[in-house]
Structures are given as C-alpha cells and as structure tokens.
Amino acid sequence: MTKIEQQVMAGVAGIYLARKMLSRTALECYALFASAFSLTMLVSVSSVERNFISVAEGGLANILNFSIVAFANTSYVVQGTVLLAAIALAGMLADLVRAVRVAPRFA
C-alpha cells in the first residue's frame, strides 16, 4: 500500500470513528453516564435509598408522592441532571422499541 493510500485510509477511518463516537445513541449514553455520575456527587444516595425503602412500604401512591416531593425540593442543578438523564433514557428506550419493532421475525 502506498503512502497516499495509507493517508486516505487513515482519513476514512478517522471519519468513521468520529461518526460512531458522535452518533445519537453514543451521545445518549454519554449523557446518561455523565448525569448518573453527577447525581452520585450531588446527592446522598444512601439517604435517598434509606428514605425510599421506608416510603416504599406504603405502596405505589407513597412512592409517587415521595418522588415528586424529593424532585421538587432539590436544587436546580440536581433537577436539570435528573431531567437530562430522563431524556437520555427515553431516547434510548425509543431506539430499543424501534429496533425491536423492525427486527426480522422468524417462524
């Protein structure tokens, strides 16, 4: 392979890699991981878990009420991080549903 062919192939490989790294699914994964990591730094996960377990004994209505009150009483940074994670997760679930719906079915 000549030097020009190697340079062209390196350029093609670079573009391919950049497109894969900046695809919608990859960006959703990055957003989900970044927001999950940020939440562990911003929120006392052990306290939330302890409170959630005590509330969960009361049923689904208590869990929903706990979630709404906990979200409403956090800082705007935490609320934004949770919303970013929810949007990324919704996008990933939509991709999954779309992939399952168009998957070939074998008899």
Q: What is the pLDDT of residues 74-95, one digit of tens each?
A: 999 999 999 999 999 999 999 8
pLDDT of residue 102: 80
In terms of phi and psi (left: phi > 0; alpha: psi -120 to 50; beta: otherwise), the region of 105 is beta
What residues of the chain score a pLDDT lower than 50? none
Query: Would you say 31 and 81 are in contact if contact means Cβ atoms under 8 Å apart?
Result: no
pLDDT of residue 105: 73
pLDDT of residue 79: 96
State which H helix or E strand residue 43 sits in. none
pLDDT of residue 1: 81
Global confidence as pTM: 0.75
pLDDT of residue 107: 59
Q: Beta strands of the chain (E only): which ranges?
A: none
Separation between Cα atoms, residue 101 and residue 76, nearest integer Å? 37
Separation between Cα atoms, residue 44 and residue 104, nearest integer Å? 44
